[in-house]
Structure 1
Amino acid sequence: MKKILVTLLLMLLPGLAAAQSYDDVVEAQILPGWRLPNGDHMAALHLKLAPGWKTYWRSPGDAGIPPQFDWSGARNMSAIGVYWPAPHVFWQENMRSVGYKGDVILPLRIRPSQPGKDARLGGVIDIGICKDVCLPHRLRVSASLPAGQTKPDARIAAAMADVPFGAEDAGVTGVSCRITPQAKGMGLTVSIAMPRGTGREETVIETSDPNLWVADPSTSWQGGRLVAQTRVTHMSGGVFALDRSGLRITILGGDMPVELTGCSG
């Protein structure tokens, strides 16, 4: 249901923008970055948010709007991937959202169709912005990516350093999942064997199926393991299968951000 509401909001976005402009709340530009030895190109989307405003991560929580990227204005480009630095967890009126504030740099790894030539990155980005009110906002960006630029951009490199660590670096030795039947869905309990952290950990659980909705988990330490309990439902309200190998579990608020893929039964 939440995803349907988000889609409707994005469809209404041009009308909302006409009613009131929020261009002074967020600025967007492409950092042109540098060409890598293998022919790929590192660039970044740079957002500058006004004080008190925030925007959302790829999985924004029940109270957020997920970003959507349309790179149809790109030239000499066969693939593009977004790297997500560790976000913050925000609480407002007992609702959780996950995102960023202040200066936000999202590194982009681009594969040119013709590696030895300049590329161009351009497109439309729909994001959610939030302060006292939350609403969708549309941004247009464009920049040339010179093939001859090989000096790394320290800002992009710093953002890459904030991307969550993997299981080995975080000392994770096992991730198990338990599924229980529930009305119109299923309960999911994820148990993670790892060194005890701050006690303030929050988890975000994503599935490989965009039609599945995962409620914000309840996270706690139980017997030396970090345990996240949540509920999974299908947007149609019907029955579904859950691919454990496609689960992505992100741990925030601990000693280091951690991202894990898949779990055992």
Structure 2
Amino acid sequence: MIRILPLLALALLAFGTVAQAQDATTEAATSPWSTGEHARLRLIAGPTTPTGKQRVGVEIVMSPGFKTYWRTPGEFGVPPAFDWSGSTNIGGLDVRWPVPERFQDSAGYSIGYVGEVVIPISVQPVDPSRPVMVVLKLDYAVCEKICIPARGEASLWLEPGVTTVTSPRLESYEARVPVPVKPGPHNGKLALLDVGLDDTVVDPGLKLVLQTPPGGKVEDIFVEGPGMWSFGKTHLTPEADGTVTARIRINDRPKGVAGPIPLIFTVRGSPKPVETRLDLDIPAAKP
């Protein structure tokens, strides 16, 4: 017994050291929370990609019933404004937005996230052999019945070439980022088959024809255009041939603008959300 106790003590000490190392690794993968009124924010690290990019997530958690906004917030809302200027060893940075949802506000609808979201970020280091310091200042809004301005600040030190870190929370939201697809049919995916002006309505609008694979479903479509283009709520009609027709009103457009207009169509649905970019020939609005 006299000999066993020291061995037991050493084993416990070793276990504690391993546990502390695991805790330190866990802490190193996230920044401290930046807490504000009805919301808090932090950065999450993921493993480095095979191409050497660092994977990071901006996690926002809100009080029950509160929401925040997508890059295009809809009729009302404020898109998040990212400031990465304090970062070091960053040569390029790509914000990858998870597919949002549409929610009703008191005076119309908005587009964003309810309760929580993790926005994935891909960071390309200037020198992949050196660490990256990601520093974020984020101005955003959290809303229930009224909107409250929020500001979060977080920083995260990323060692080069770390591929063993796992972040299930970041990965779950990376899976919600729409897959880029070109117009036309695609096996096993949601797809935009055709898009043009809707001649059946008095107000100007778009008419889309979408493909749904077996067991798939179109839930909503978000349309973005450059500048002052604004689009209304999507109205979906399942067709007998298995396609889905979507009609979307053009709420607002820049005066006098016509010709090929670059548009982004984000389709929310299953098996995975998709994003299609195309130029659509739209004539100038009638005076």
Same fold (TM over 0.5): yes
Letter in 2 for 1:160: E
Residues 97-131 of structure 1 show CA distances to partners (whole Å, capped at 9, x for unaligned) of: 22112331111110011111111111321222110
Of structures 1 and 2, the one with the larger relative CO (CA 8 A, separation 6+) is: 1
Q: Distance in 2 between matches of 1:89 and 1:238?
A: 30
Q: Distance in 2 between matches of 1:90 and 1:132?
A: 12
Aligned-residue Cα RMSD (Å) equals: 3.1
Match of 2:4 in 1: none
For structure 1, the 5+ residue unaligned runs are 1-21
Give the TM-score normalised by the residue count of structure 1.
0.76
Residue 92 of structure 1 deviates from its aligned partner by: 3.4
For structure 2, the 5+ residue unaligned runs are 1-34, 282-287
Report if the CA contact (8 A) 1:234-1:240 is conserved.
no
Residue 256 of structure 1 deviates from its aligned partner by: 4.3
More displaced 10-residue stretch of structure 1: 140-149 or 221-230 = 221-230
Q: Distance in 2 between matches of 1:126 and 1:169?
A: 40
Report if the CA contact (8 A) 2:191-2:274 is conserved.
no
Is 1:106 equivalent to 2:122 in the alignment? no
Q: 1:216 aligns with which of 233, 237, 259?
A: 233
Is 1:193 equivalent to 2:193 in the alignment? no
SS across alignment from 2:233: coil
Runs of 4+ in 1 over 6 A off after TM superposition: 196-200
Residue 197 of structure 1 deviates from its aligned partner by: 6.9
Alignment of 1:254-265 (within 5 A): 256-262=272-278
Alignment of 1:1-265 (within 5 A): 23-93=36-106, 95-151=108-164, 152-165=166-179, 167=181, 168=186, 170-172=188-190, 174-179=192-197, 186-195=204-213, 201-207=219-225, 209-223=226-240, 224-232=242-250, 236-243=254-261, 246-252=262-268, 256-262=272-278
Report if the CA contact (8 A) 2:212-2:218 is conserved.
no
Q: Distance in 1 between matches of 2:77 and 2:234?
A: 15
Q: Distance in 2 between matches of 1:147 and 1:218?
A: 47
Q: Distance in 1 between matches of 2:227 and 2:152?
A: 24
Aligned residues: 239
Query: Judging changes above 3 Å, is the alpha-carbon distance between structure 1 residues 206 and 68 closer, same or farther for their aligned structure 2 residues?
Result: same
Q: Distance in 1 between matches of 2:255 and 2:103?
A: 28
Residue 215 of structure 1 deviates from its aligned partner by: 2.9
SS across alignment from 2:73: coil
- Of all paired residues, the percent bearing the same amino acid is 27
